[in-house]
A = this chain, B = another copy of it.
Amino acid sequence: MNDRVPEAVIRRLPSYYRQLREMETAGIAKVSSKQLAEKMRVTPSQIRQDINCFGTFGRQGVGYKVSDLKGHIAEILGVDASHHMVIVGSGNIGTAIACYPTFQRDGFVTVAMFDNDPARVGASVGDLKVRHVDEMESFIRNNRVDIGVICVPPANAQEVLDQLISCGIHAIWNFAPVDLSRDRNTILVNTHMSESLQVLSYKLTHQDFR
């Protein structure tokens, strides 16, 4: 099934999840595709198509139960389970990720943070103490770790990725503005800050208000 789910649908799922969580918090029990479509700024048929990628859900003309659909999407996203993360690089981005207010609520728990700078080792970041990157391998071998977050300068990012993979991590969130090579068994999601800003610059230059 998942082979056929378009990347664009996968990218919309977190936004569905957030909308549904907000509705649940607001005490809304049911939602139609039309209402969800308005929130998501897509068409109602797009909503139905997206949700149908993951099996039949809801009934024509009746709409969706908010808590059921939210639970269904949480399961699809894998956010009904917890994930343990290690962060490599304790600079500003690493710190922002370690202290991000909602990750823990969503089951993304940072279990360790590493740096190669002796001046940073031992520093406190949130509830964590920064460890030397030399301890990373033994930490990962002795603790459950699902995701590695790369927050090091571009020149070091490939080396860190290779180390994480050799320790058995195969889900990587990369903030270094560089293309990383990895084997086919490694999942890589990039967040390139500069690229978002350049898209904004494009739209500003061309006055493209999408």
New contact pairs (7) apart from A2-B208, A91-B96, A187-B200, CB-CB < 8 Å = A11-B195, A14-B199, A17-B198, A78-B202, A93-B96, A173-B196, A189-B196
Q: Are B77 and A14 in contact (CB under 8 A)?
A: no
Whether A196 and B200, one on each chain, are in contact in the complex, defined by CB atoms closer than 8 angstroms, is no
Is A210 interfacial (CB-CB < 8 Å)?
Answer: yes
A1-20 at interface with B (beta carbon < 8 Å): 2-3, 5, 7, 10-11, 13-15, 17-19
A200–B5 Cα gap in the complex (Å)? 14
Alpha-carbon separation in the docked complex, A103 to B189 (Å): 21
Report whether A209 and B187 are in contact in the complex, using a CB–CB cutoff of 8 Å.
Answer: yes
Contact between A2 and B177, CB atoms less than 8 A apart: no
Which of these, B39, B95, B194, contacts A179 with CB under 8 Å?
A: B39
In angstroms, Cα B205 to Cα A76, docked, is: 8
Q: Which residues in B have their C-beta under 8 angstroms from that of A196?
A: 173, 189, 191
A207 → chain B, closest Cβ, in Å?
A: 8
A147 to B11, CA, bound (A): 25
CB-based contact B187/A203 at 8 Å: yes
A102 touches B (CB below 8 Å): yes
Known contacts A39-B179, A204-B147: does B198 contact A186 (CB below 8 Å)? no
Q: Is A166 an interface residue (CB 8 A)?
A: no
Interface residues of A in 55-114 (CB under 8 A from B): 76-79, 81, 83, 91-93, 95-97, 99-103, 106, 108
A210–B7 CA distance with the chains assembled, in angstroms? 9
